[in-house]
Every structure is written in C-alpha cells, then in structure tokens.
Amino acid sequence: MSLFEKIMFLSPKKEVDGSYSPSPLALKLATVKKSDYSFDQYENAYTGNKLKVLMICTEEKNMVMKNGKRFSTGNHPIEMLVPMLHLKSAGFDIDIVTPTGKPVQIEMWAMPQDDDAVKGIYQEYKHEFDNPGSVMDFVKNSLVEDSPYIGVYLPGGHGAMLGLPDNADVGEIIRWSHKQSQYMLAICHGPAALLAASIGIDAKDFIYKDYEMTAFPDAVDKQTPLMGYMPGHLPWALGERLNSFGTTILNKKISGACHVDRKLVSGDSPLAANEFGKIAATCLLDELENRN
C-alpha cells in the first residue's frame, strides 16, 4: 500500500457538503454488514392497539468538532432499528418525532447491508423517518395523564448530542414521562437527550440524579479520531456532562453491556443493541402484566 493509500485509508471521507464520514479503516473496525438481531418471539406480546413507544430522534446531521470540522452523523441504524424490531415483536408500535418535524438523520454509512431484518424495518418506517411528528406539537397536544405511550426511546448515534440536550420541549417530554412512571430507553449516545430535563433547574433536582446507566464512554470517544472515525474531538463529553448532574456511567469500555435502574434501561453501544432491545421489550411487557 502506497503512502497515499495509507493516508486515504486512515483519513475521514469528505462528503459533498464538506462534512466528514468515517475513514475506510474506521468503517472496517466499527461497522458490520449484519447485526446480531436474534428474532426473539414474546409469548406475552401485547395484542392491543392502544399502547405505543415514543421515539425521539435527531434532525441534525453535522456535528462541529473542536477543530471546526464537521462530522457527518445522525442516529445509528443498528442502535435504532434492532431495538425497534424487538419492540415491534413485543406488540408495540412506535411513533417518531424530531424537534421540529424535519426528517430523521441516520448514519447511513453504518447501515448493515446484508441484514434483511434491519433494512426491512427501516423500509417499513421510511415514511415516518422522512415525515416524523414534531416534539413541539407533542408537548402542545399529548402531555396528558391518559396517554397511549408506555415508554420513551432515545436511540444512539452521535447525532443524539445535537439539538436534543438543549431542547426545552424534549425536557418537558422526559419529565412528563418520568412523572407518568413510563420506561425511558436510552442507548449509546442516546442518554445525551436526558440532559434536556436539566434545563432551568438545579443539578440536585435532576430527575436522573443518583441513577446508574451504561452509555458510550468518553474514553473511547477520545480515541476514535485516531482511526479516522471522526475528523476531530467532540465539542463536549457526554459522560462528563451526565456525571455533573449526579448520574453514574458504569462502563469504561464498550462490551455490549446493558443496565436497568428503576425505569431507565440503557446500553453502551451498537454491541448492546440486541440485548438492549430484548430487555426493553421485556420490561414493557412486565409493566403491562403488573398493571393487570
């Protein structure tokens, strides 16, 4: 391999809009052609048509790094779609919202091209991804006690750090969901959206203060630019910010670890997507049984 080829193999790829997607090396190391989705069937699957899960997605694509370069991101397809497969298998439909109703941004460079199940549910929800509801409208019209929602889902991808943590309406939904004793499902960088619940309050009043969770660790994020996954270092650190509000990130590495603390279900990375989806589906179904 020539020096030029080595440089290109390690360098993030420049997109037509001037942003950067991961290098060939990063894609080789950090993405897969097929997920480990396990096709679980749930004997006690919900058979009604009223209860749903609300999924809050990002509508922003480009993250400005510390060096000023833009990282082409969004929601990670495996972290988003594999848990959706489990939730659907458990009988729950999923409503999709973004802050203003603009299309969901997805890291298409991470789509598992040989995975018919993942690509299938992506196509099933393609219209909703392109035409989601808006967080703003949801806050205006749907924050009611007699709610058809049994949980809120925050999918991962670095895009979850864009436009959600600083959105007051997202914070309203999270606090409302917590008050309604709904499950909160957050994977990888998805917990960034939980920070919206801290807007305008003292750290001691953060609803997830003293909670433990798994998430994508800051230490690994600091390493990813070395293989060209990102064109620079992140503008802020997820774990550091969450810790400042009294939460504890349990993992230092990524291993597929998941954790349940009260009604917060979390997972650390794409490696956790299948197990996270199974746990989330089981928790929601157990909640239904406990209600009856």
When pLDDT is cut at 50, 70 and 90, the band that residue 5 belongs to is very low
pTM beyond cutoff 0.85: yes
Whether residue 138 lies inside any domain: the answer is: yes
Whether residue 166 lies inside any domain: the answer is: yes
Establish whether 188 is a catalytic residue. Answer: yes
Tell me the Ramachandran region of residue 188: left when phi exceeds 0, alpha when psi lies from -120 to 50, beta otherwise: left
Whether residue 2 lies inside any domain: the answer is: no
- The answer to whether residues 138 and 167 touch, using CB atoms and an 8 Å cutoff, is no
Quick check: 3 pLDDT over 70? no
Q: Which of 57, 188, 258, 283 is catalytic?
A: 188
Mean pLDDT of 165-187: 97
- Backbone dihedral angles phi then psi of residue 136, each to the nearest 5 degrees: -60, -45
Whether residue 8 lies inside any domain: the answer is: no
The two three-digit tokens of residue 156, written as one number: 């991962």
pLDDT digits (tens, 9 = 90+) for 30-83: 999 999 999 999 999 999 888 999 999 999 999 999 999 999 999 999 999 999
Per the structure, the complete domain to which residue 59 belongs is given by: 14-291
- The answer to whether residues 217 and 268 touch, using CB atoms and an 8 Å cutoff, is yes
Whether residue 9 lies inside any domain: the answer is: no
Return the pLDDT at 285: 97
- The answer to whether residues 154 and 193 touch, using CB atoms and an 8 Å cutoff, is yes
The two three-digit tokens of residue 287, written as one number: 């909640």
b vs e for 104-131, b when ≥16 Cβ sit within 10 Å of the residue's Cβ? bbbbebbbbeebebbeebbeebeebbee
CA distance 8 to 31: 18
Whether residue 3 lies inside any domain: the answer is: no
The tally of domains found in the chain comes to 1
Q: Identify the sign of the CA torsion 203, 212, 192, 228.
A: positive
User: For residue 106, what is the domain's CATH number?
Assistant: 3.40.50.880
pLDDT digits (tens, 9 = 90+) for 191-225: 999 999 999 988 889 999 999 999 999 999 999 99
Whether residue 6 lies inside any domain: the answer is: no
Whether residue 4 lies inside any domain: the answer is: no
- The answer to whether residues 270 and 263 touch, using CB atoms and an 8 Å cutoff, is no
pLDDT digits (tens, 9 = 90+) for 230-242: 999 999 999 999 9
